[in-house]
Amino acid sequence: AVQLVESGGGLVQPKESLKISCAASGFTFSNAAMYWVRQAPGKGLEWVARIRTKPNNYATYYADSVKGRFTISRDDSKSMVYLQMDNLKTEDTAMYYCTSGGTTSDYWGQGVMVTVSS
Amino acid sequence: DIQMTQSPSFLSATVGDRVTINCKASQNINKYLNWYQQKLGEAPKRLIYNTNSLQTGIPSRFSGSGSGTDYTLTISSLQPEDVATYFCLQHNSGYTFGAGTKLELK
A2: pLDDT confidence band, cut at 50, 70 and 90? very high
Q: For the segment A31-52, what is each residue's pLDDT rounded down to a tens digit?
A: 999 999 999 999 999 999 999 9
Q: What CA–CA distances, in Å, run from A19 to A69, A87, B77, B90?
A: 12, 12, 44, 28
* Nearest residue on chain A to B9, alpha-carbon basis: A44
HSE value, Cβ hemisphere, 13 Å, CA-based, for A18: 23
Rounded to whole angstroms, how far apart are CA atoms B20 and B101?
Answer: 10
Q: How are beta strands A112-116 and A10-12 bridged, if at all?
A: parallel
To the nearest whole angstrom, how far is the Cα of B75 from the nearest Cα of chain A? 20
- Does the structure show a pLDDT above 90 at B91? yes
For residue A115, pLDDT beyond 90: yes
How many angstroms away from the CA of A61 is the closest CA of chain B? Answer: 9
| CB spacing of A47 vs B55 below 8 angstroms | no
Task: Say how far apart CA A64 and CA A46 lie, in whole Å.
Answer: 11
Residue B11: pLDDT band (50, 70, 90) is: very high
Chain B CB contacts of A102 under 8 Å are none
C-alpha span between B57 and A93 (Å, rounded): 33
Q: Do A47 and B46 touch (CB under 8 A)?
A: no
The tens digit of pLDDT for each residue in B35-79 reads 999 999 999 999 999 999 999 999 999 999 999 999 999 999 999
CB contact under 8 A, A109 and B43: yes
Which among B45, B49, B100 has CB closest to A103? Answer: B49
